[in-house]
Structure 1
Amino acid sequence: MLRRILLSVFMVTVMGRGSALQYASDMCNWKGSGLTHEPHKKEVEQVYLRCSEGSVEWLYPTGALIVNLFPNTLSSVSEHLTVCIKPFKDSKGSNIYLEKTGELKMLVRDEENLPHKVYCFSQEQGLLFVEATPQLDISRKITGFQYELISQRTLSDLHAISDPCRPCSDTEILLAVCISDFVVKGSIKEVTSDLEQQESIISVSINRLYRQKSKIFQPSQQQLGWEGQIRTPLECGVQAGLGEFLFTGRMHFGEPRLGCAPRDRDFRRIYLEAKSNGLNPCEINTD
């Protein structure tokens, strides 16, 4: 309660003095500096971004930022959105909160963020309030993070973010084939561990490419077909195995994340049953 009162007083005082409005030149990424502030004034800057993904980089943080994120298409304005942020590896100098009606909820504590950690929240939970922590020397402090706006439909249909280790239901598999950023059929060549990021890197050999985004899979130099890598949390315990799989997933902070990955024979059975009952949400060639 005390924190809420102090924040309200802080915001009113700052707004009375005139807070800074910061608009990104490309509307996706913002980069600013606390050196533009007078050290004794705790100014609040309003940052407005209108993209589905981008970044915020705050050099020598002092005072606070309120980061306003909006979708970049009119059709998405009415959707319920989930916001995900991924702090830069060396992000320091600020606490990141969710702010709603003057009340703060801690999201990322200064210098306690893990390099692989992604923080997601509903847009209805509030705005991002980035508050600089007291520093004797701010010359080497940079607060930064990437962000993504994700529709609730995509988040629920593709649980690569919300619940990545849970097996997909038949309905989720069928939907994943329709809306995933990539849909490919192939086998697992090997699985390696990225301990720093706490992720498994799945190297796959692809013999059928249905759809892909951002050229995840490239023509193989050793054999016919395609090859590439997909990431998933280490805790999911993915292991190399025999047989063919249908790999689906989405791009998340520039990296392909595994979504549903049924064995190909299981997918064919699920799809053909749905098709015979007129329940398949989209068409795909299973021959």
Structure 2
Amino acid sequence: MRPERTPYLLPPLLLLLLRAAASQYSSDQCSWRGSGLTHEAHARDVEQVYLRCSQGALEWLYPTGALIVNLRPNILSPAAQRLAVCIKPSGESRGANIYLEKAGRLQLLLREEEQPAGQVHCFGIEEGSLFIEATPRQDISRKITAFQYELVNHRPGADPSTAPCQPCSDSEVLLAVCSSDFVARGSIVGVQDEAEQHESVISVSLSRLIRQKSRVFVPAGGRAPHWRGQMRTPLECGVKPGDGDFLFTGAVRFGEAWLGCAPRFKDFLRLYGEALDRGTNPCHIDTA
């Protein structure tokens, strides 16, 4: 769940300092590493950072002043406006609060004390840039604000920070099969709830791996093709172990699989066959 966000306007003095602050680009435009010690004489300086890759990282040592982090893909298109930005703070991230900034208005995204939990937080790319403001303190030693980021696609109207708990519609299932990072047929072996992370970890056994973005599922050995792995879902979804043959789809976030649409395989075969008859299937897969 996102923290409560209270919007407010940037003070005029801060906006002036922002315009005057020199821009600094990372060497590869994917990741940035800098030090707040350069702001020591002007503690309210605001520095612009531009990151233009689909994934990367930021590490801000000894935070002072503030950063505005502009996360944008290299190719701008109408589809790019539907992207979401997901950030995952490191377990040692401290020293700053993280806001969303748009047209001088700030909305709190993540407080300093919440970052060490390492939970993923997402927002639509159209919601603005990241405004990272150092928390005032006398001793800034051993303070590092750090996170990984990814630009991801998400369903219109859905909260991109979580996998959907509600059952997917037929059209959403068909679209998920075409666009998900992984698509596989299999069964649920077990579910472990992680209350502190507000997540459930689902262990699965796969009889068929149709597609996967990265090696989140690995061969399990034996004569017949077989894979095993884990998927995550929000704890509030209440996933329970049980019998059944499912079609699993979902996204890979920071090297972990997140469950998306997961109809029973027999139900998927029915709706896919109906879409084939109507000529409305968005893509073709081998269901044999």
Q: What is the TM-score with the length of structure 1 in the denominator?
A: 0.89
The 5 Å alignment of 1:92-171 reads: 92-113=94-115, 115-151=117-153, 154-156=154-156, 161-162=161-162, 164-171=164-171
Aligned residues: 282
Question: Which sits farther off after the overlay, 214-223 or 173-182?
Answer: 214-223
CA contact (8 A) 1:156 1:162 kept: no
CA distance in 1 between counterparts of 2:183 and 2:160 reads 14
Corresponding residue for residue 218 of structure 1: 218
Aligned pair in 2 of structure 1 residues 220, 78: CA closer, same or farther (>3 Å)? closer
Report the counterpart of residue 269 of structure 1 in structure 2: 270
Aligned to 2:240: 239
* Counterpart secondary structure, 2:64: coil
The 5 Å alignment of 1:43-58 reads 43-58=45-60
Residue 193 of structure 1: CA displacement?
2.3
Residue 117 of structure 2 aligns to a residue whose secondary structure is: coil
Task: Detail structure 1 runs of 4+ shifted over 6 Å in the superposition.
Answer: 157-160
1:42 matched to which residue of 2? 44
RMSD value over aligned CA atoms? Answer: 2.5
The whole-number CA distance in structure 2 between the counterparts of 1:116 and 1:164 is 20
1:68 aligns with 2:70: yes
For the residue of structure 1 that corresponds to 2:112, the secondary structure is coil
246-255 vs 94-103, which moves further: 94-103
- Displacement after TM superposition at 1:180 (Å): 0.7
SS of corresponding position for 1:112: helix
What is residue 13 of structure 2 aligned with on the other side? 9
- 2:156 aligned counterpart, secondary structure: helix
Letter in 2 for 1:183: V
Q: Structure 1 residues 280 and 274, CA, compared in 2 at 3 Å: closer, same or farther?
A: same
Which amino acid is 2:221 matched to? Answer: Q
In the alignment, the residues of structure 1 paired with residue 40 and residue 97 of structure 2 have an alpha-carbon distance, to the nearest angstrom, of 20
Report which stretch shifted further, 185-194 or 60-69.
185-194
Amino acid at match of 2:237: C
Q: For the residues of structure 2 that align with 1:159 and 1:136, how far apart are their CA atoms?
A: 38
In 1: Cα distance, 2:8 partner to 2:249 partner: 44
Instruction: Decide whether aligned partners of structure 1 residues 190 and 24 sit closer, same or farther in structure 2, where only a CA change above 3 A counts.
Output: same
Counterpart contact for 1:39–1:62, Cα < 8 Å: no
Task: Note the alpha carbon deviations across 1:150-196, whole angstroms, 9 max, x for none.
Answer: 34xx4339877455211111111111111111111011111122333
SS where residue 126 of structure 2 aligns? helix
Alignment of 1:168-183 (within 5 A): 168-183=168-183
Structure 1 residue runs without a partner (length 5+): none
Aligned to 2:251: 250
Work out whether residues 157 and 175 of structure 1, in 8 Å CA contact, stay in contact via their aligned partners in 2.
no
- 1:30 equivalenced with 2:35 (yes/no): no
Gaps of 5+ in 2: 1-6
Amino acid corresponding to residue 250 of structure 2 in structure 1: G
Question: 1:78 and 1:146, CA in 2 relative to 1: closer, same or farther beyond 3 A?
Answer: closer
2:22 is matched with 20
Q: Say whether the 8 Å CA contact 1:180–1:250 is kept in structure 2.
A: yes
Cα distance, 1:55 vs. partner? Answer: 1.6
Kindly indicate whether residue 196 of structure 2 is the aligned counterpart of residue 196 of structure 1: yes
Cross-structure match for 2:279: 278
Given the alignment of the two structures, is residue 88 of structure 1 paired with residue 93 of structure 2, yes or no?
no
What is the distance in 2 between the residues matched to 1:32 and 1:205? 44
TM-score (norm 2): 0.89
**Identity among equivalent pairs (%):** 57
Q: What SS does the corresponding residue of 2:145 show, helix, strand or coil? A: strand
